[in-house]
Chains A and B, each alone.
Chain A
Amino acid sequence: MSQFFTYAVLTATVASALGLAAPFLLAALGETVGQRSGVINLGVDGIMLLSAFTTYFTALKTGNLLFAVLVGMGTGAVMGIVTAFISVTLKAEQGISGIGVYLFGLGFSDLMFIKLVGTPLPINSLNPINIPLLDRIPAVGGMFFKQTILVYVAFLLVPVVTFVLNRTTFGMKVRASGENPAAADSVGVNVARIRWSTVLIGCTLAGLAGAALLLYDGIFQENLTQSEGFIAVALVYFGAWRPTGVMGGSVLYGLTIAVVLEWKSLGIIPLSASDLAATAPAVITILALLTIARRFRQPAALGKPYERGG
């Protein structure tokens, strides 16, 4: 057991935890923006699956990983148009339409995989980027500053989203639309336009999350996400609709997965119990949701389509 507590193992665990956390964080940040404006998007997982596939396919055909990531984001944006049209323009019941988008993503990504690729071939993975000087800091350097570009982007987006929500006129309109769309409308805020933008942002980030997940795994398979998109939605509640809280949840989740994987490979967790151990992240999330998130109030208009003059 002492092996686990060596320097190298600890560093490697934290480093992989951050890599594992990045897709959750990207998807959950996007969902946060949408929910703060009052739109709940349960289709995140389906969007991640579609984007993961288009990213994989592009990488396979072109070998250009950054281009592949852009295609993944574009896929998210296209699904954002679909989602916004259903949830904002058609004012559909958001829970049900989200499940619809999820099922479409789940089925269609696998169908395209079978039709267009067939045999799974691995693709190159993203190379880690070492941040000069910082990467030489003992322990910390190895944990934080030898990550891929997508991990850096995910974590840098936390202060960016916080700033946009709290310090910009756009963010103020987003929060107003999520709390009291009638009040926002009465002072001339175009609630539909605000919600369209947040849904597009959210789905684009979900697309990026799918790309990040694909590049972490290096290969596509059916239901690659294993419902991570739903966990991302839960993390928004966990983080009480605040980007920093969402980051805390994502890291905790990534860390739990990393520790379970590490302990399995070190034999601390017997093979017979490994399936049980794999449920640990979900159990921790549920417990945290029960204890932490209940103290915060969700945006008052969350999930409610806005109809003028009701």
Chain B
Amino acid sequence: MTTPAASPSREGVPLLQMMGITKRFPGVVANDRVDFDVRSGEIHTLFGENGAGKSTLMRVLYGLYRPDEGEIQVNGAKVAITSPADAIRRGIGMIHQHFMLVDTLSVAENVALGEKSQRGPLTDLGRVSERIRELADTYRLNVDPQAIIWQLSVGERQRVEIIKALYRNVSLLVLDEPTAVLTPREVDELFVVLRQMTEGGRGLVFISHKIHEVLDISDRITVLRAGRNVGTIQSSEASRARLVELMVGRAVALESQPSKGTGGEVRLSVKDLHVKGDRGIEAVRGLSLEVSAGEIVGIAGVSGNGQRELSEAIAGLRTPLSGSIRLGDAELSAANPADARAAGLAYVPEERMRDGVVPFFTVAQNLLLVENRSRDYSRLGFLRTRAIRRHCQELISAFDVRTPSLDTPARNLSGGNIQKLIMARELSGSPQVLLVAQPTRGIDVGATRYIHERLVVQRDDGTAVLIISEDLDEIMTICDRVLVMYEGTIIGSADPRVNTREEIGMLMAGVKSAVPPLAGEPATASP
């Protein structure tokens, strides 16, 4: 049984019509006369680079921003949506990229929050829980109404968000990058649910970067570029190449072939490593791995399986409980980032705004964070401004960091340029080992390509490169060897030239027998 959408749309009238939406921010036009519509029963994808204006458009729809120009029609009637409450009243729901759940409240409380209670001022969680169970049965969204949100996995939290929308009986649901945090298997399950949700006439807006998913799930695809709608096409008429061309405005080759590793000496060797996570639970449990000069090793896995703790242990930011980390000839025992750097490590952290740059420092200051004690740039504790500026100017042109000036605060740069800035800083010291966590998360296609090329260049120069990434496409594209991390250990290894995405995806989900061991591949999971 499928619940019919709240307001049945009239024949031929789209559920939603956004016409000529313009939204300006100081110095930027985020949306430039964008037309966008959603029909009853369809999944309409918004596709485009970061900063193309997808989120802005949806924030306008959800009442979080007021458009400067343009008109919104819901079921053919012109409306002004001034707040999320307003949007909800009109049957519009939104699942944000960062889940909008209150961690300390139960599932039922999160679902009931903001809704009228049948018991007046008192909560009616019993009835809400009952309804949650009904919806969970209908859509196979298994979730315990009594569970507290912080106890739930990312996949479960997403189910709670979907139930929230179903409970509110939305006729139009926006899903902002819902697959970013899921394993391939969970993505398949989500798509089944999304299809089922459209059956009663509900319209869905799907936002994603991942081309194969977009082609898989959409009925129609609208591509935004630099705030403009550059084309709305039927999914059946779309191809990967066509979408990318629309998105970046030029035809680009998608696949870059990983070149064969040179099989040099072992530069980074981790043996039987145990590391505690922030919650006091062991996050890395007996992990071993080796990275040699001239190869890119990728660690795939769903986030939260100990990747962050592993990278922090290697970078000297977190003291391991036991085990050893060897970097070149140096044994790193206690956490000390200076030792790790002295041994030849360069580190590009996952949280680039928090751990990668000082947001309020200028581009030049950020570039100099590592080398500021070098004789070249300071004398008797005084900075040598002219030498520094020359050095920084070279770095930003070498790494294509697009910044108005060296004195611009780092926080004003886009994600891709910040990442290039960090890469420029980290690679300027010719490292022995390069550790990059989530190299291109949230970065547009152009910058992603550039960063991937840099990583390959670095490998060809003989650096041992270790990449930790949730993005399987990225891992498959640039890595010579893939290790899959699951619950704190390496559950298996794979060869991106031999194994398929699906096989690696199964490993990411913890299914061990998915990939038969490759001949000549060391059994990395054994202690």
Contact = CB atoms under 8 A, between A and B. Distances in A.
A139 B110 CA distance: 47
B164 A187 contact: yes
Contacts of A184: 102, 113-114
Given A179-B105, A309-B64, A172 B123 contact: yes
B271 interface: no
Contacts of A291: none
Q: Interface residues of B toward A: which range? A: 20 to 34
Contacts of B85: 187-190
A309 B94 CA distance: 14
B84 A186 contact: yes
A168 B100 contact: no
B100 A182 contact: yes
B101 A167 contact: no
B123 A186 contact: no
Contacts of A171: 123
B423 interface: no
Contacts of B34: none
A183 B100 CA distance: 4
B176 to A, nearest CB: 11
Contacts of A186: 62, 84, 94, 96, 100
A180 B103 contact: yes
B405 interface: no
Contact of B104 (A167, A173, A175): A175
Task: Point out which of A186, A300, A308 has the most chain B C-beta atoms below 10 A from its C-beta.
Answer: A186
B113 A172 contact: yes
B113 A179 contact: no
Interface in B54-90: 59, 62, 64-65, 83-86, 88-89
Contacts of A185: 84
Interface in A185-209: 185-190
A22 B448 CA distance: 62
B121 A179 contact: no
A187 B105 contact: no
B109 interface: yes
A171 to B, nearest CB: 8
Contact of A187 (B84, B86, B117): B84
Interface string B442-464: 00000000000000000000000
A127 interface: no
Contacts of B117: 169
A69 to B, nearest CB: 26
B103 A179 contact: yes
B122 interface: yes
| Interface of A (DSSP majority class) | helix
Contact of B101 (A170, A173, A180): A180
A96 B88 CA distance: 37
Q: Interface residues of A toward B: which range? A: 20 to 34
Given A186-B84, A309-B65, A169 B121 contact: yes
Nearest to B59: A309
Contacts of A170: 121
A189 B113 contact: yes
Contacts of B96: 186
Contact of A167 (B83, B110, B114, B122): B122
A176 interface: yes
A175 B101 CA distance: 12
Task: Point out which of A171, A300, A309 has the most chain B C-beta atoms below 10 A from its C-beta.
Answer: A309
B102 A183 contact: yes
Contact of A172 (B59, B62, B112): B112
B508 to A, nearest CB: 28
B336 to A, nearest CB: 28
B149 to A, nearest CB: 9
Interface in B105-153: 105, 109-110, 112-115, 117, 121-123
Contacts of B59: 309
A122 to B, nearest CB: 43
Given A169-B123, A179-B105, A187 B64 contact: no
Contact of A188 (B83, B102, B103, B112): B83
A179 B122 contact: no
Contacts of A308: 64
B132 to A, nearest CB: 15
Nearest to A186: B100
A309 B66 CA distance: 12
Contacts of A175: 102, 104-105
Contacts of A190: 85
A205 to B, nearest CB: 20
A170 B113 CA distance: 10
Contacts of B83: 188
Nearest to A181: B102
5 contacts: A172-B113, A172-B123, A175-B105, A186-B94, A187-B85
Given A186-B100, A187-B85, A187-B113, 6 more contacts: A169-B121, A170-B121, A176-B113, A186-B94, A187-B164, A189-B113
Which 3 pairs between the two chains have the least Cβ-Cβ distance? Answer: A188-B85, A187-B114, A183-B100
